Structure 1
């Protein structure tokens, strides 16, 4: 398994696990006024920062055995990376319609912020899955 494929696996796991943990924390701390009344800002910031740090650390661990030359990849790796980023762009573009509609309907900030966070998390996960499939089945 190449360094960039390992990096895609790390990104997929982090993009899936961190939002699930974030949602579990929100649900566990739901106030009597409903989930929309919860204090979500700090947990969301921690989730975003935690995902960044986890990605950096896990990628460093996954790539610790790879030689420096292998980290750049070849033309196939660059094509797979582009494909994953194209798909992520379309995923976040389509998923961003939800927070846009919520804002137009003047929904509570909780729903707008969390749907936008979900859009970015979904794009990261979909991008990683596309890259993994491209590595496994060929491009």
Structure 2
């Protein structure tokens, strides 16, 4: 398994765990009241920050476990990386458009922030899955 494939697995796991933790915390705080009334901003920022730290720590851990592993990227790694990023970015665009429409319609900030966070998480998940599939099965031939 290449270093870049390991990075994709880390991103996939961290994105899923962080977003799931965020959802569990926010929903558990609701206690029967409407979700927009639940304080969410600090939780959102903390889970995003924790995800960033967890990714960094996991990558450092990979480096410590196998310090002699090559981190050089070849053409295949760059193509897989590009394919994964292009695929994942679709959800960033979907989230931006959805947030813009929600803001124009006057939706509560809770829903706007949450649709953006959801789309960031989906972007990381879809991009990572695309990379992992490409590493395991090869690049698609256009």
TM-score, normalised on structure 2?
A: 0.91
Most deviating of 2-11 and 32-41:
32-41
Matches within 5 A, 1:26-41: 26-41=26-41
Q: Which residue of 2 aligns with 1:67?
A: 68
Structure 1 18/130 Cα, relative in aligned 2: closer, same or farther at 3 Å?
Answer: same
Structure 2: any 5+ residue segments left out of the alignment?
none
Per-residue CA deviations over 1:51-88 (Å, capped at 9, x if unaligned) read 100000111112330426x1122111111111111112
Q: Could you say what the CA RMSD is over the residues aligned between the two structures, in angstroms?
A: 1.4
Q: Which residue of 2 aligns with 1:102?
A: 102
- For 2:75 and 2:6, the matched residues in 1 are separated by 17
Runs of 4+ more than 4 Å apart:
none
For 1:57, what is the secondary structure of its paired residue? helix
- For 1:100 and 1:30, the matched residues in 2 are separated by 26
Q: Which residue of 2 aligns with 1:19?
A: 19
Q: Which residue of 1 aligns with 2:89?
A: 89
For 1:71, what is the secondary structure of its paired residue? coil
Structure 1: any 5+ residue segments left out of the alignment?
none
Per-residue CA deviations over 1:8-43 (Å, capped at 9, x if unaligned) read 000001111110110000011115531110110100
Shift of 1:97: 2.3
Shift of 1:89: 1.7
- For 1:116 and 1:99, the matched residues in 2 are separated by 7
For 1:96, what is the secondary structure of its paired residue? helix
- For 1:92 and 1:129, the matched residues in 2 are separated by 16
Shift of 1:90: 1.9
- For 1:59 and 1:77, the matched residues in 2 are separated by 17
